[in-house]
Structure 1
């Protein structure tokens, strides 16, 4: 389904969507490592995004569909205006819409925002090796694996490797 996706700053009420989308403990771990505890709650998100409001190098975004309904979310952090780089993280798409190109479109818009509005030359993100669908999504959006850390994170009894992926603005 092709539609015009829009990005806007994250709002407190967007947390209700994140809580609905991240209902599986493993999925939450892939999304945030150990930055939030399961189950995800609005109180956890409120505290996190309040801290983000006070960080001049970090900003949250919500992706909206044609009707203004949230379909995804991400943040940009570690904005370095001298080195012209920024990091994408906490990337998530409504699970009911996965496989429709929504993630690729959202990450492409994020890269475009970083390049055109923030004037960044280097945009990075991380993805665990146990999430090959997300890695392919990021590759389709123009990101390339630059580094791989084997056994970067332990989830239950699993060892997850972690790719650092880079989008280079030209």
Structure 2
């Protein structure tokens, strides 16, 4: 891992300087060892968002920047932030870094993918003309949703957009055993 140093911290953004020719790529994850306000040691992850010139990058902190100071060493992991994928993740709750936060223990690793990926080609998408059953009889009858499509709700204030969405979320959660789909 290439080591740089923090040269500026402003809120949740920080600038880091690296040796010439070893600048991290955009979206690379940077790690810095930090001691929090409570005295706990932690590893803070940041994500490179911009090359500033003069061997400097601007990064967004993915956690609290309390305890960061100029001159601290910061390490380039050489890879973007990635999260676990596969059957083992079904029904689990993760933070932004792919760490389980549901108190069900560690996850059986089935693989990881970066959080920034190319979207699938349009020709690779599978068109479906299946009706998506919402569980709301009026919607299913008068304005059915297509599976895999995008649907928008438009209306004035107080006409029930939020109630409609909450009912939709509730019905989907019940139909799929509480799993997000």
TM-score, normalised on structure 1? 0.23
TM-score, normalised on structure 2? 0.22
Higher helix share: 1
Which entry has the higher C-alpha Rg, 1 or 2? 2
